[in-house]
Structure 1
Amino acid sequence: MAETLQLPKYSIGMGDRFAHQAKAQLAACVLAEKAGVTIAPVWNKSNREHLIIGSEPSGTRSAADVAVKELGWTGPYFLDADHINLKTVDRFLAPCNFFTMDVADDIGHPAAAEDVAAFVARHPELIGNVAIPRIEKPFEIDEAFVRGVANKFLAAVQQAGAIYRSIVDKKGEGSFVPEISMDETDSPQTPVELLVILAAIADEKIPIQTIAPKFTGRFNKGVDYVGDVEQFTKEFRDDLATIAFAVERYGLPKNLKLSVHSGSDKYSIYKAIRESIKDFDAGVHVKTAGTSWLEEVIGLAESGGDGLALAKEVYAEAFGHAAELCAPYATVIDIKTERLPDPSVVNGWTSDEFVRALRHDGKHDAAFNPDLRQLLHVGFKVAAKMGDRYLKALEANEEVVARNVTTNLYERHIKPIFVG
């Protein structure tokens, strides 16, 4: 059998909505390499985003391959079939080598009673006081709890197993990185629930290399973490300890690590992530998703002239179709519509005013508008409808757009998490 494809210790997920920023994104990983930290680039784009834009996964692959060649990147790199399921996976099979199996919609669907009973019988070690190194208090677990967690999550894990085996049948075992995503759901998974979930994943023989749970607090698109940072820190550290324990107990892959979805702009928790992974000597995968699309709009606005006019047009259209654009992302945005400026106001803005309202750098600029930023984050459909007009604007302003993309990814995300 061919050698199993391994995701390195540190990796960063990068969204490239219009397949124009791969080189600028990879440049941020090159800067990290020069700073002494190797971070594997993972370009991710979901089926929903491909459908909205009218693109194909092969186009994302081509853009990544060209960037790697032009910058002389010699390390591993990945293309993520993001948030796929059995209905959507096929178009990603050939170009992708990383598959995020999204089973959030299956959480809470009761598993077959006999499957739950078999799981409980198979795992007596989960019942009682379960002591995990580096977690202060043992988990106190009774059979009813294990049964309840299995009833809530087992069907989702079985669905992940079905997706995984479908990919293996067509691509071959070890030829891709499997991730399980459970983040886009209503309730966070606690560390003790994570332990039960990992036992179920091991039973399904899914060699996952990353897992994306839903953490406490809100991870809204393109804005800072909303929640108790201290609580998140404890939960994140307990999850790291739980994963290390499960790897040894259940024979899961040694490089299994946490994946933080919607991780862009979560400045208030970056220190906790950095210090925790260093303390535990653990890896992490952080997805920055659509933040590069926002940097495209910022770059156009910063360019002035036609670029600024187009950025204003994108906002006006997004404002007019806000409900439609927001609906698919309801669990990961929180927009106060009364705080959105009217397009007539935005049309009068200077380049600097537009950029300051949209740019999020953690410096608490009073002009920054998180509601406007979230709306534009989900508003890439507007640019997609512009077609070549939008793409030509990117190409005409490539230098300033690329500078914003690289600076954002390296200075605001990679450095505070991985470099320190």
Structure 2
Amino acid sequence: MNTQTLLAYVSTHDLFHSPLDQTRRFEGAIDQGVYLASLRRQGKSLFFVYRDEAAFKKIVIKVSQDANDFADFPGIVEQADGYAIARSDETPELAAFLRKAFPWTAPKSLKGKDATIGTGDRLGLANPAHIRAVRDYDIFPVLAQQSIRELNFTKRTYQEVVDAATFAVFQEGYEDGFGFDGDHLKNIPDIEMALRCGATMITLDLSEVMNAKAAQWSDADLAAAYANVPADERQRLERAYLAAPITLNDGSSLSFDAVELHRCCVMYLEAIRFVKQVYDLLVERRGAGNFDFEMSIDETDAPTVPQHHLFIIQELTHLGVVVDSLAPRFIGEFQKAIDYIGDLSEFERQFAVHCQIAKTYDNYKVSIHSGSDKFSAYPAIGKWTNGRLHVKTAGTSWLEAVRTIAIKEPALYRQIHQVALENYPEALKFYHITADFSKIPALDSLSDADLPHYLVQAESRQLIHIIYGFVAQDAALREQFYRALFTHEETHYQLVRDHLRKHVTLLGRPKKSM
């Protein structure tokens, strides 16, 4: 949009004086390249996001009636017809400006929010669709959510992740807030990095500090390891867990025998001490109550039985650690990008106990990791949590991006699929899936019109899910991929919105009252 066209647009729509069109703001409407939902007035200035078709990018434009009102806005200021105008690419400097000028574009805590969902925008492109999926529902989004593994695969940084969320929020005019989760962090340096970038939530992954192998140890081996616990600590533990069953607030109870206590101590005590160290660091950096703290014990082979969950939360409480949410490893399989695998009735029975433990100990949230597409389990999850839960998704939005390519750019999809076939053995080192890839139809056996079938079949969904890093790290393929999603942006947004909204509604989340 050149200067004269821009000023003509502002004048024709009388954007400095007339009410902004509320009826179209939340529908993703674009008028002459202007994202209408992004239009904002502040003092004598007007701001909006503009879609630059020729350059395959978006820019933020500021128009002001005051030439001196540009001290912090990044961009070269020009004068025309009594207005001052500046344009800025979506840069870190612009993101910092937006978070200061429009505080609702900065992440905030999940405190006071019962139902929350981490949407995990791996590409930095899907968050407008995530906003459209949730904005009418009683569920709070964590738009900025990435693990170190995902950052390494996509070659992105936490600053880029939160900046992308800021730009999406501004583009969509979304003022209801969002969170920023440093997800599945395992060490102090990575936690410090996430905090420096403004993370409001830290998810501590204990998979490398807990002794998961002890789940399979013999009684004798467990007893020998337990003997290394100091005597006074053993006495406290035995009084706490062996003297009597522990009653939950619904009147049910859980009991420990000596072997199970030994197993819990050997598996978790060292990890719990690490949790205390991290929690104290967060209190030091942010102050008590000024961050969201999640514990993750889901990245293990053995399910977290209810007694283990109870042991962990009681020991954390003993140390003064307050968790906002905890992610057990549930019975059955919560594999990436497909529905729940296992006995749903047994899952529901155990899940109900996990929820009761959480309600008994300060009503923290039960967190469901690898929550993407677990549609058959969602009704039970919504029921037993009473809507107080956290669900994490990420890969499902990536797959909807690939579905967009399969529909709109079949030749490009074929390139991506071939990359998947060539690289999945390496990708399997990082993801636990049990798909039989031999069931996937050969690429040359499907017509272009049939390519979206790959995003329906469970085996090919998992194949495509785990190779996103190989697409992101191939410079030429990445550029084609991003350009295609820019070109077909509305299709991409619709697919992601509709798919994520299915998650929200199956969890039983109601629409917001208007």
| TM-score when normalising by structure 1 | 0.85
Cα distance in structure 1, aligned partners of 2:392 and 2:442 = 31
Give the corresponding residue for 1:186.
Answer: 301
1:387 aligns to what SS in structure 2?
Answer: helix
Q: Find the aligned partners of 1:335 and 1:120 in 2 and give their Cα distance.
A: 47
How far apart in 2 are the matches of 1:184 and 1:116? 31
How many Å separate the matches in 1 of 2:265 and 2:251?
Answer: 22
Give the Å deviation of 1:276. Answer: 1.7
Q: Secondary structure at the match of 1:188?
A: coil
2:134 corresponding residue in structure 1:
29
Q: Which of these residues, 104, 114, 132, is aligned with residue 248 of structure 2?
A: 132
Query: Rg larger in 1 or in 2?
Result: 2
Structure 1 alignment gaps of length 5 or more: 248-253, 360-368
- Give the structure 1 partner of residue 372 of structure 2: 264
Q: Do 1:7 and 1:177's aligned partners in 2 also have CA atoms closer than 8 Å?
A: no
1:244 aligns with 2:359: yes
Tell me if the contact between 2:241 and 2:256 (Cα under 8 Å) persists in the aligned partners. yes
1:296 equivalent in alignment to 2:401: yes
Displacement of 1:393 after TM fit?
A: 1.5
Aligned residues of 1:14 and 1:43 also touching (Cα < 8 A): yes
Distance 1:334 1:302, change over 3 A: same
Shift of 1:144: 4.3
Runs ≥4 residues deviating over 4 A: 109-112
**Secondary structure at the residue paired with 1:275?**
helix
C-alpha displacement of 1:7: 5.4
The C-alpha deviation readout for 1:126-164, integer Å capped at 9, x for no partner, is 32222324365x323234432331221111122222233
Matches within 5 A, 1:80-159: 80-86=181-187, 87-95=189-197, 96-108=199-211, 113-114=228-229, 118=233, 121=236, 124-127=239-242, 128-134=244-250, 136=252, 138-159=253-274
Other-structure match for 1:340: 440
Distance of aligned partners of 1:244 and 1:341 in 2 relative to their CA distance in 1, 3 Å threshold? same
Are the equivalent residues in 1 in contact too, given 2:119–2:142 (CA < 8 A)?
A: yes
Residue 120 of structure 1 deviates from its aligned partner by 5.0
- The more displaced of 95-104 and 74-83 is 74-83
Residue aligning to 1:322: 424
Size of the alignment, in residue pairs? 385
| Secondary structure, aligned partner of 2:332 | coil
Looking at structure 2, the residues matched to 8 and 106 of structure 1 have their Cα atoms a distance apart, in angstroms, of 30
Paired residue secondary structure (1:104): coil
Give the drift of 1:263.
0.8
| Structure 2 residue ranges without an equivalent (≥5) | 1-107, 213-224
SS in 1 for 2:428: helix
1:107/1:153 contact within 8 Å kept? yes
Note the 1:38-57 alignment, pairs <5 A.
Answer: 38-57=139-158
SS of residue matched to 1:141: coil
Residue 484 of structure 2 is aligned to residue 393 of structure 1: yes
1:251 corresponds to: none
Looking at structure 1, the residues matched to 394 and 366 of structure 2 have their Cα atoms a distance apart, in angstroms, of 16
- Map of 2:111 onto structure 1: 6
Q: How do 1:396-415 residues align onto structure 2 when only pairs under 5 Å count?
A: 396-410=487-501, 412-415=502-505
CA RMSD of aligned residues (A): 2.3
| Distance 1:342-1:356 versus aligned 2 partners, 3 A rule | closer
2:447 & 2:251 partners in 1: Cα distance?
52
Structure with greater contact order relative to length (CA < 8 Å, sep ≥ 6): 1
1:171, distance to aligned residue in structure 2 (A): 3.8
Change (3 A) 1:335 1:117: farther
The structure 1 residue matched to 2:412, chosen from 310, 321, 325, is 310
TM-score by length of 2: 0.70
- Report SS of the residue matched to 1:221: coil
Kindly, what percent of the aligned residue pairs are identical? 25
In the aligned structure 2, how far is the partner of 1:69 from the partner of 1:59?
15
**Letter of the structure 1 residue corresponding to residue 172 of structure 2:** L
Q: Establish whether residue 357 from structure 1 lines up as the match of residue 448 from structure 2.
A: no
Maintained 8 Å contact 1:336/1:371: yes
Write the deviation string for residues 300-331 of structure 1: whole angstroms up to 9, x where unpaired. Answer: 1122xxx221122111111111100121012x
Aligned-residue offset at 1:170: 3.5
> Residues 241 and 255 of structure 2 are in contact (CA less than 8 Å); yes or no, is this contact kept in structure 1?
no
Seen in structure 2, the aligned counterparts of structure 1 residues 38 and 143 have a Cα distance that, compared at 3 Å, is: same
Whether 2:506 is the aligned partner of 1:419: answer no
Q: Which moved more, 1:153-162 or 1:187-196?
A: 153-162
